[in-house]
Amino acid sequence: MFTYDTITAAIKGLKDRGFIKDFNLQENCIICHEDKYHPDDFEIVEFYRFEGNSDPGDEAVVYGIESKNGVKGVLISGYGASAIGLGAEMAKKISINRV
Q: What is the pLDDT along the chain (99 residues), one digit of tens a residue?
A: 789 999 999 999 999 999 999 999 888 899 999 999 999 999 999 999 988 665 555 688 999 999 999 999 999 987 655 555 677 888 888 876 543
Q: What is the DSSP letter of 96?
A: T
Residue 38 belongs to a domain: yes
Residue 25 belongs to a domain: yes
Total number of domains in the chain: 1
- The three-state secondary structure class of 20 is coil
Whole-model pTM?
A: 0.84
CA atoms of 94 and 61, how far apart (whole Å) = 9
Residue 99 belongs to a domain: no
Residue 39, domain extent: 7-93
